[in-house]
Amino acid sequence: MRLLISVADAAEARLALEGDADIVDVKDPARGSLGAADAAVLHEIVDVLGAARPISAALGDAADERAVESAARAAAASRLAYVKVGFAGVADVARVESLIAAAVSGVRSVSASSGVVAVAYADAARVDSASPEQVIEAAERARAVGVLLDTARKGGGALFDLMDQVMVGRWVRLAHEAALTAALAGSLTAADLASARALGADIAGVRGAACEGGRTGRVSRERVAALVRANRRMSEPRPVMESRLEWAAPPPSGA
């Protein structure tokens, strides 16, 4: 499982890189869970990171096909690995599919290596969005590369408060059956990384846990490094315990 760290500017991007994050994600936390950063900020971050890490960027919640296609095209031109699109206010699954398809069209018009990640909300009912399962269906049909399960309203409960592990695990399985990368986010803590990995997530995204002062604070190199170490320790194979009999001293001759 790869660890994604969300950053708000170039200085935070440097700290995430120094902390050895696997993926650096660009967003504006002041604009909500999927707040899009200004184009100038995105370009500064891309300049800082270069090709050192895959970069993703939040585009916000889509409501218009032309607008999301244009935004996706502009972002993908910055050599991003992923663009993320949400659907707060859009409950109709056919419309969600149309918006994802528009974003995919925008990305593909400028980049063969960038992909669209469709964002589903665990608290979908609170923001009148399609259900997490419906977003998977729409993403598969519209040829997105992945799906992210997040929370729309920060402060309204973390991912595992809103959906239990059985529900989240089922969602991850559905995403994989649709051949989509499955990412989890939503106020995840260091302790939640073990659950995300156990449930089969390909990517876990965090911001608050990587910041001094919560998600609206500043990314800390030390916090990022600690999260990275914790995540990678989980992937290390456990040593095989040798049998006690193998280590026992042979019996004395003639015994």
Catalytic residue numbers read 27, 84
Nearest CA to 72 among 25, 111, 24? 111
- The H-or-E segment that residue 25 falls in is strand 23-26
Tell me how far apart the alpha carbons of residues 68 and 84 are, in angstroms, rounded to a whole number: 11
The answer to whether 23 and 53 are in contact (CB under 8 A) is yes
- The H-or-E segment that residue 106 falls in is helix 93-108
The answer to whether 142 and 111 are in contact (CB under 8 A) is no
